[in-house]
Amino acid sequence: MEDKHFEYMVIKHTFTLVECSKCKGTGTTSRNFRKMNFVQDCPNCKGTGKEKLVYSMRVPLIKALEEINLLNQE
C-alpha cells in the first residue's frame, strides 16, 4: 500500500481600512441633474469614507490553528 501525504491549507484574509478612492474620505458624492446639485452617500463606501482592502494568502492548517490558539502547545 502506498503512503499518502496530505497538506491542508486554509485561506487567511487580512482586512485593512483606507480612505475611499471615490469620495476621498468625505463619505458623500455629488451629482448634477438638470442644473441642480444633489449630495448623496458615496456608493463605494456607503457613506463611511473608508474602503475595506482584503489581503488573502494560503496558510497551512497547523499554522492557522497555532495563530488562533486552538492547537495544544505542550
Residue 40 domain-assigned? yes
Which pLDDT does position 1 carry in this prediction?
A: 62
Instruction: Please give the distance of CA 21 from its chain centroid, rounded to a whole number.
Output: 15
Q: Are 70 and 62 in contact (CB under 8 A)?
A: no
pLDDT over threshold 80, residue 74: no
Residue 33 domain-assigned? yes
The pLDDT of 55-64, averaged and rounded, is 92
Residue 54 domain-assigned? yes
Residue 44 domain-assigned? yes
Residue 4 domain-assigned? no
At residue 61, φ and ψ (nearest 5 deg) are -55, -40
Which pLDDT does position 34 carry in this prediction?
A: 87
CATH code for the domain in which residue 46 is found: 2.10.230
Residue 2 domain-assigned? no
**Domain carrying residue 53:** 9-67
Residue 19 domain-assigned? yes
Domain count along the chain: 1
Which pLDDT does position 33 carry in this prediction?
A: 86
pLDDT tens-place string over residues 12-47? 999 999 999 999 999 999 888 888 999 999 999 999
